[in-house]
Structure 1
Amino acid sequence: MSLKTLENSLGLLEFFTRETPAWGVRELAKASQMSHSVVHRILSTFEKRGFLMQDPQSHKYELGISFWQYGQMVQEKIHLNDLIHPVLERICKSVGESVFFTTLDGQEGVCIDIVESLQIIKYAVSIGSRTQLYAGASNKVMMAFLSDDLQESIMKRGLVPVTPNTIIDEHKLREDLTDIRQKGWCYSVGEYTESVFGVAIPLFNYRNEVFSSITIAGPAYRVKEDQIQPVVKLLREEGKKLQDYFHRLRIAKI
């Protein structure tokens, strides 16, 4: 196999995502701008090796059992929370507020890890909780870096207020998302939980797609907007270390 063929083959696999888990030969050839015959040959080879399987009715290809087997091996070798948690602990120790890691799952944010503040009055969120992308710093900082089409799709589903401070005006939300994208971070107060501030930065995968965020949150009276630049600087420094590690592992989603 030539290096070009190998590159093309691996490139085709990257089209199989959570959003588009199944592909027909013709549609994948069109999306990848490769010839129908080449795509068919590559997919057939992957199917023989168990990396893809073909649905007998739709004739579309999906990821096969071999990926699951290798995935199990990687999961045993690398526990992502073992990478994420120490970063959150360092940030929490430095700022004294709760710190949590949110990942993008379709059109929602999912909290996958948190280190709570040791202070009596603190912000807490449940691991596994799902939240709308238009409410709160941890979510909006990801939504800001999605495509315009995805942003519009989220808004067209309906903007339902979580608190009285949730931005539900589409025009105002678009302006807010543009501002977040330009700054590279988000600060919000009371949008998801009343009287709680949030400061968040986005993390990007090796394809430069936003896929997660790190957020510091606590009672609004403890951190004002004019006090957050040192917090943003710390988030960026620690976030870059984590992001660089994800890049080396070629992790696209969590």
Structure 2
Amino acid sequence: MEDRKLTVRAVERALDILLCFTRESDLGLTEIASQIGLHKSTVHRLLTTLEEKGFLIRNPATEKYRLGIRIWELSTHLPAFDEPAALLLPAMERLRDRLGETVSLYLRDGTERVRIQAVQSQQAIRRVAQIGARLPLSVGASSKVLAAYAPPEVQKALLEGQDWPSTVDRMVYAKQLKDITRLGYATSLEEREPGAAAVAVPIVGRSGNVVAALSLSGPVSRLSKETLIDYAAVLIEAAGEMGMMIP
């Protein structure tokens, strides 16, 4: 039993190392050890194993690690039917071409959101969206959409969380969630980033459940409050078509 516990612990630690790369693309031994709270000698042994198996690559010049080819090999076998990121990409590209701004797709993970797909605007000044970015549900159009349609216990945990930003009024936020379910969309003007604006809508699958948030974002110089509201209707139509593609 003790050997099994040690084996499981090693697996958990190896997975914790891989999860560090959801936030950064290149990390050194000291950075990884600090993030997961383990001694550098322990982390070094795990890194060596992950490197040998192809899950990580070490740059000899910088002594930093990045995700290896095995990660990408695994990702290519995600079933397209079950994976919204791949399934909805063509529709997202059409939406980008129609409106000219960056289009993103988000899933909720607890009280956070994760960007699982993005189609970048082709304009010179544009909103660049990094796939894999993990963001809090407390600010942003997509965050508010995912929170508005989340179960009551998730909303409660979010609004009562200790890490709630001091710049956001909890009561105002709670009212916004009710407005979103009534209107069917959310907007944000420089809530998370100065100079950035966004509008987001829920994607409802054929099961009747909200499976993702579809957003359009760009600079406030092009996306005024009125423009965001106009674009909301376009996103709602696109999300309806996308939802028919998802179980």
Task: Give TM-score scaled by structure 2 length.
Answer: 0.64
Say whether residues 1:96 and 2:100 are aligned partners: yes
Separation in 2, partners of 1:81, 1:192? 23
Q: CA 1:160–1:154 in 2, change beyond 3 Å: closer, same or farther?
A: closer
Say whether residues 1:169 and 2:169 are aligned partners: yes
Once the 2 structures are TM-superposed, how far is the Cα of residue 137 of structure 1 from its aligned partner? 0.3
Residue equivalent to 1:120: 124
1:105 to 105, 109, 113: 109
Say whether residues 1:146 and 2:147 are aligned partners: no
Decide whether the 8 Å contact of 1:138 with 1:201 is kept in 2. Answer: yes
Residue equivalent to 1:180: 180
Once the 2 structures are TM-superposed, how far is the Cα of residue 183 of structure 1 from its aligned partner? 0.6
Separation in 1, partners of 2:87, 2:200? 19
Decide whether the 8 Å contact of 2:200 with 2:213 is kept in 1. Answer: yes
Separation in 2, partners of 1:196, 1:187? 11
Once the 2 structures are TM-superposed, how far is the Cα of residue 210 of structure 1 from its aligned partner? 2.2
Residue equivalent to 1:17: none
Q: CA 1:167–1:206 in 2, change beyond 3 Å: closer, same or farther?
A: farther
Separation in 2, partners of 1:137, 1:217? 9
Once the 2 structures are TM-superposed, how far is the Cα of residue 167 of structure 1 from its aligned partner? 5.3
Decide whether the 8 Å contact of 2:85 with 2:105 is kept in 1. Answer: no
3-state SS of 2:117 partner: strand
Residue equivalent to 1:204: 204
Once the 2 structures are TM-superposed, how far is the Cα of residue 240 of structure 1 from its aligned partner? 1.0
Unaligned runs of 5+ in 1: 1-71
Deviation digits for residues 182-231 of structure 1, max 9, x if unmatched? Answer: 11100111112111111000112344332211100000121211223431
Q: CA 1:186–1:76 in 2, change beyond 3 Å: closer, same or farther?
A: closer
2:87 to 79, 83, 94: 83
Q: Which amino acid aligns with 1:134?
A: S
Deviation digits for residues 152-179 of structure 1, max 9, x if unmatched? Answer: 1112123543xxxx85221111111111
Residue equivalent to 1:57: none
Alpha-carbon RMSD: 2.2
3-state SS of 1:217 partner: strand
Once the 2 structures are TM-superposed, how far is the Cα of residue 124 of structure 1 from its aligned partner? 1.2
Residue equivalent to 1:221: 221
Q: Which amino acid aligns with 1:131?
A: L
Q: Which amino acid aligns with 2:213?
A: S
Report the identity percentage. 26
